[in-house]
Structure 1
Amino acid sequence: MLPGIGGSAASVLAYSQQKNLSRNPEKMGKGAPEGMIASESANNALTGGALIPLLSLGIPGDSTTAVLIGAFTLQGLQVGPLFIGEHMDTWYSMMAALLFANFVMFGAMFFAIRYIAKVVMVPKYILYPIIIMMCVIGAYAINYGIMFDVWTLLIFGVFGWLAGKIGIEVAPLVIGFILGGSAEVYFVKSIESYGSLSIFFTKSPIAVVLWLLILASVVFSILMHRKNKRLANQVEEANA
């Protein structure tokens, strides 16, 4: 998964793509295995990819690698373009550990998943209050006790529930909320460095490729929406 966007955005992007490509998109959001597999696969794949900008450029790819920078500093290691060449033994040890960890996690989850999966058998009236309580505590503590964050959590929680009821897609809102701040900062920096909006419309190969990808993603979304709507109508007609 593309590093730098965080686990939440990675999960939402993968889930959205799986929903677009699914033959039965109406089952998504109701416990469909492929939706959960896509989301968790992207979330786990992000960590390995986030090591690339961390070790090669010194830029953390997610919150986990941001913590790793502090760990490297405590050990007297400076991550960046010279890291691999100057610390070859550490580099190979990290790659071997990362590969080994995947096998360990597979073995642990393969034998333990039958017990972990039983959490879905916990009644909702017990599980939901615990989840809400943990969310409120997290929102209150993230900025050292500001009630504004708690009210924001509750308001957006109600909005998300209403959006699902009236058919509004929540995934684009979540992605925009997570990436909007960074996108705005780099958008302004690009304009300041070039002096005008024309930087986004140059004939450079990078700009052309990016615009083609944006256009392709929009066209693909429209086509998949029409396909899913047509399949939903066919299902309704068959049930009728």
Structure 2
Amino acid sequence: LVDRVQDRYGKTIYRHDQRDCTDCADPAIPDTRGPRIVTNRERVMNAITAYQLTSMMQGVVTRGTASSQIKLPVPVAGKTGTTNEAKDVWFIGFTSTIVAGCYIGHDRPRPLGRGTYGGTTCGPVFQEFMKEAIEKYGGGKFRVPPGGHFIKIDRYTGARLSDDASGASVVAEYFRDGEEPIFGISYDGGFAMGSNLPLIEEVERYGGREVTTSSGKKAVVGPKADFGSVSSGGLY
């Protein structure tokens, strides 16, 4: 809450940020470069995990829900969001130097209208703001941490590709050394894994119970599931 306290002569007697700025007093620092700050903060996420998440969110901007609206000269990562009935939409995005977020919604929640999504509605706001912010703060490629390697994959089939593969369907994903995925094995996460889930007709016929929903309507739900009746695949 309190960032800094100074006395009446301008001397700092309390500073919340305890990081060391090694060259903050150097008048020769060019306007295009910030001072070097030595961080002593605790890392809360593994560096490779953080980069993998960043890579996923780059996909949102390059080929996902924000790709039609965000066209910036530096790498951008982010995530769109749209609630039910588009009552709220947002986009949170970042470059290597700055992060910004946009939220749009009514004070009293109500639908924003057909065709309203985080990417199409907040995307242009983010684009307009970040275009000027990048001119001031710059930006570049996201730093790749050591301890991993890139593997090229077909984003439509998930098949591994050769290192020299190229094309619109080719993406390079970063994997930890020693934790390379096994390609060629598929898992049925649909009807086979959830084959012991009760069907609607079975619920109504055997042991279903009637409940009142939040809207006042009546509905029939099945009996409480136990460990033996529902597999992990069925829960997804």
The TM tier, using the shorter chain, reads under 0.3
**TM-score, normalising length from structure 2?**
0.24
> Which structure features the higher share of helix residues?
1
> Which structure features the higher share of strand residues?
2
**TM-score, normalising length from structure 1?**
0.23
Flag the structure with larger Rg.
2
Kindly indicate whether structure 1 or structure 2 has the higher relative contact order, using CA contacts under 8 Å at least 6 residues apart.
Answer: 1
